Amino acid sequence: MAFQSSTNPAQLTRPGQSNSTGDARALYLKLFSGEMFKGFQHNAIARDLVMRRTLTNGKSLQFIYTGHTKAEFHTPGNSILGDTNNAPPVAEKTITVDDLLISSAFLYELDEVLSHYDMRSEISRKIGYALAQKYDRLIFRAITRGARKASPITKTNYVEPGGTQIRVGATANASDAYDAGKLVTAFYDAAAALDEKGVSQDGRVGVLNPRQYYALIQDIGSNGLVNRDVQGSALQGAEGIVEIAGIKIYKSMNIPFFSQYGTKYGTGSATNPGTTDPGNTGSFVSEAIEDAAADVTGIGSGNDYGEETEFANSCGLIFQREAAGCVEAIAPQVQVTSGDVSTIYQGDVILGRLAMGADYLNPAAAVELFAGTATKPAAF
């Protein structure tokens, strides 16, 4: 058996090195990055359902609205010098990038050595989940705002369509939000409204909370929403609703739902659908919609995402991709300390970050569902 001398050390296999050279942790960091991105991409559904642009060298991005113009018969002998009403009218919408959004954790090196599982991979996924959750919540709040707004095109006789708000049911009970038949009716009303306002059918989606989604699944006998070819797996996996009136349906715990995110427990009322708390829900289920931090501290959102009370009767969204825009100055990315910092603290700070902002674009493409009141939620 051969022994290595001190002048000829053993040749170690370092699985963290790239091509057996350089930083011994290089590939570990790349693996961590991949896990963070995977966690983000698997949980952020709103990012690909709206207009998304990358912003460089600026704090905001301008979107242009162009209104309608009119067609008319030409009078022989008259010069054609453009529409006499200076149509089509044009307006703008500016979306500002919010402050840096971060999620971080400190990983003590000794804990990593003693752990029997891959701590970095697990932490990275949770960081990705946190960023994706915030990302979706801001976009869904922006769409809700747009559904309550008039068009930015306000020229006399050229006013463009604005947002739409549709009541689910006709009673003073928020529980109407869970009635499958009433939801289906609301979807058809929304589709008709979008058609009437000239909104493209391409990219129309609806987002409901999980209990609403499952209520529709259970009602397949009367509404035929589940494709018969996949009915068995659809019922088990809750992914079988193809569409209603050409609107593809998603479920999310991040939509505004009676002033909470995604669900609300408690006694039934005009602002509570009356769902029994299943117990042991922890700290992150049925979270209240937070007020905009920038309103108080100047740190946080650069766009108006509304306050908790402004979503008291909201219970779902239907929209087309032009309803909202999202600008990204820093796409989701990960940073990890190293070198002297890691030596001093004997561990690494793992940071996921992004810089984005969202706001409504075309109000006509946004529909808010509400229940429990005959009065449409007010604009904000």
CATH code, domain carrying 140: 3.90.1690
Per-residue pLDDT for 307 more than 90? yes
Q: What is the pLDDT of residue 22?
A: 74
Closest CA to 359 of 52, 104, 65: 52
The more confident residue out of 118 and 123 is: 123
Q: What is the pLDDT of residue 43?
A: 80
Asked if residue 376 belongs to a domain, the reply is: no
Asked if residue 79 belongs to a domain, the reply is: no
pLDDT class of 19 with cuts at 50, 70, 90? confident
Domain count, the chain: 1
pLDDT class of 237 with cuts at 50, 70, 90? very low
pLDDT class of 238 with cuts at 50, 70, 90? very low
The more confident residue out of 195 and 16 is: 195
Residues forming beta bridges with residue 158, ordered by sequence position? none
First to last CA, the chain: 79
Asked if residue 192 belongs to a domain, the reply is: yes
What mean pLDDT is predicted for residues 73-83? 84
Per-residue pLDDT for 72 more than 90? no
Tokens (6 digits) for 124? 């990275």
What mean pLDDT is predicted for residues 199-221? 89
Asked if residue 39 belongs to a domain, the reply is: yes
Asked if residue 95 belongs to a domain, the reply is: no
Question: What is the DSSP secondary-structure string of 127-152?
Answer: HHHHHHHHHHHHHHHHHHHHHT---S
Sign of CA dihedral 333, 293, 142, 43: positive
Per-residue pLDDT for 340 more than 90? no
Domain span holding position 221: 26-65+100-370
What mean pLDDT is predicted for residues 352-359? 94
Query: Could you count the other beta carbons within 10 Å of the beta carbon of residue 166?
Result: 21
Asked if residue 377 belongs to a domain, the reply is: no
Of the listed ranges 11-20, 76-85, 188-197, the one predicted with least confidence: 11-20
Cα 17 to Cα 27, 37, 156, 158: the distances in Å are 6, 21, 67, 64
3-class secondary structure, 359 = strand
Q: What is the pLDDT of residue 341?
A: 83
Asked if residue 135 belongs to a domain, the reply is: yes
pLDDT class of 236 with cuts at 50, 70, 90? very low
**Is residue 97 within 8 Å of residue 353, measured between CB atoms?**
no
Asked if residue 128 belongs to a domain, the reply is: yes
Of the listed ranges 69-83, 245-259, 261-275, the one predicted with least confidence: 69-83
